[in-house]
C-alpha cells in the first residue's frame, strides 16, 4: 500500500496578520504540516513566538522584512533565537510525523539574483554565491531519494519568467524582470541530478500586482517540480458579506508526487469560502 498523502498548509507573507482565528482554522483543518514563507512582520517578537508555538509540525524561513531595517543584525538574531529549530534557512528540518523533509533557502532574501543585505552579512557573514548553493544542496543530500522533499524559501528561484505577472516577476518598478534567487535556482538543478523534487514553496512577490492584475502563483516544470507562491497579501480579508477570511495555500503530497494544490480562503469556522485550484493530479 502507498503512504497516505501529506496535507500541507502554507502561510504566505504574514506581515503581522495572525490571530486566534488563524489558530482555530488550523486546529479544525488539522494539517500534517504547516510551512511559513517569511516576512512574519517587522521584527516583532510576537510573530516569531507564535510560529514557534504552533501545535503542528512546522517549518519557517525568515524574509527580508523580518530584519526590520536593522542593518546590525540584532533583530534577525532575536528572531532566530525565538524560532529555534523551526527556522530552516540554509538547512534541513525533518518533520516527524508525517515524514517530510524541508530544506530552507537563503534566509531574509529580498530577491534580485544574489544580494546579501547588511543584516544578513552581520549575522551570517559575506557568504559567497557558491557557498549558499552548497548549503542548500548539502542539506538536501542527506535526505533519501525515496523520502518526500520540499524546498522552502522566502523568494523563489530565477527562471520562472520575467514579466510582472510571473511567480517571481518584479512589478514595483519598470522594466519588469525576473527577481528570483540565483542560488536557489542552481541548487534546484543540482538536487534534481540525484533525486526528485516535487515542490518549491515561497512568497515575497505579492499576488496582487502593483498597477492592477494578479500574479501567476503556480508553475509546474518539465521535471515535475511544482513552484507555489503563497504570498496572498493581505492574508486577512473579508468576503462580500463582511465575514472575516483567512488565506492558506493548501497542498496534498504523496511521497514525491504532487496530488493537489490550491489557494484557499476560510471563514472563522474553518469553512472553505473561496478556492483557486492550482493543480489537480490525474
The Cα–Cα gap between 228 and 252 comes to 13
pLDDT digits 0-9 by tens, 96-123: 888 999 999 999 999 999 999 999 999 9
Structural domain spans, the chain: 6-280
Which segments within 67-148 are labelled E, that is strand?
92-95, 100-104
Residue 168 · residue 176 · CB < 8 Å:
no
| pLDDT tens, per residue, the chain with 282 residues | 456 899 999 999 999 999 999 999 999 999 999 999 999 999 999 999 999 999 999 999 999 999 999 999 999 999 999 999 999 999 999 998 889 999 999 999 999 999 999 999 999 999 999 999 999 999 999 999 999 999 999 999 999 999 999 999 999 999 999 999 999 999 999 999 999 999 999 999 999 999 899 999 999 999 999 999 999 999 999 988 898 999 999 999 999 999 999 999 999 999 999 999 999 987
What whole-number distance in Å separates Cα of residue 158 and Cα of residue 262? 22
Q: Which residues of 202-234 are buried (b: 16+ CB within 10 A; e: fewer)?
A: bbbbbbebeeeeebbbbbeeeeebbbbbbbbbe
Contact 227, 155 (CB under 8 A): no
- What is the CATH code for 6-280? 3.60.21.10
> What cell was used for 27?
486546529
**Sequence-distant (≥ 6) Cβ neighbours of residue 171 within 8 angstroms:** 164, 205, 209, 210, 211, 215
> Which segments of 18-58 does DSSP mark as H helices, in order?
20-29, 45-52
Which cell goes with 19? Answer: 490571530
The H or E element that residue 141 is part of is helix 129-141
The DSSP code for 9 is E
Contact criterion met (CB below 8 Å) for 80 and 86:
no
| Gap between the terminal Cα atoms of the chain | 18
Give the three cell numbers for residue 192: 534534481
pTM comes to 0.97
Q: What are the CA-CA distances from residue 123 to residues 93, 119, 239 (Å)?
A: 20, 6, 42
Amino acid at each position: 500500500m502507498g503512504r497516505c498523502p501529506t496535507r500541507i498548509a502554507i502561510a504566505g507573507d504574514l506581515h503581522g496578520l495572525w490571530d486566534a482565528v488563524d489558530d482555530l482554522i488550523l486546529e479544525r483543518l488539522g494539517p500534517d504540516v504547516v510551512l511559513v514563507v517569511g516576512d512574519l512582520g517587522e521584527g516583532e517578537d510576537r510573530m516569531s513566538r507564535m510560529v514557534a508555538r504552533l501545535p503542528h509540525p512546522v517549518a519557517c524561513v525568515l524574509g527580508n522584512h523580518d530584519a526590520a531595517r536593522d542593518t546590525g543584525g540584532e533583530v534577525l538574531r532575536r528572531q532566530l533565537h525565538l524560532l529555534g529549530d523551526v527556522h530552516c534557512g540554509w538547512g534541513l528540518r525533518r518533520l516527524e510525523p508525517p515524514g517530510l523533509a524541508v530544506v530552507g533557502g537563503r534566509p531574509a532574501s529580498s530577491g534580485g539574483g544574489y544580494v546579501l543585505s547588511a543584516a544578513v552579512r552581520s549575522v551570517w557573514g559575506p557568504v559567497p554565491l557558491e557557498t549558499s548553493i552548497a548549503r542548500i544542496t548539502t542539506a538536501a543530500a542527506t535526505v533519501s531519494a525515496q523520502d518526500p522533499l520540499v524546498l522552502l524559501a522566502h523568494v523563489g528561484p530565477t527562471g520562472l519568467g520575467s514579466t510582472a505577472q510571473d511567480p517571481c516577476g518584479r512589478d514595483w518598478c519598470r522594466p519588469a524582470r525576473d527577481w528570483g534567487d540565483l542560488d536557489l535556482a542552481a541548487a534546484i538543478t543540482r538536487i534534481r541530478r540525484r533525486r526528485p523534487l516535487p515542490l518549491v514553496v515561497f512568497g515575497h512577490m505579492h499576488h496582487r500586482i502593483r498597477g492592477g492584475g494578479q500574479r501567476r502563483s503556480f508553475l509546474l516544470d518539465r521535471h515535475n517540480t511544482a513552484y507555489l507562491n503563497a504570498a496572498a497579501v493581505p492574508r486577512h480579508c473579508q468576503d462580500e458579506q463582511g465575514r472575516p477570511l483567512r488565506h492558506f495555500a493548501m497542498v496534498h503530497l504523496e511521497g514525491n508526487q504532487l496530488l493537489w494544490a490550491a489557494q484557499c480562503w476560510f471563514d472563522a469556522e474553518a469553512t472553505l469560502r473561496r478556492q483557486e485550484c492550482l493543480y489537480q493530479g490525474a
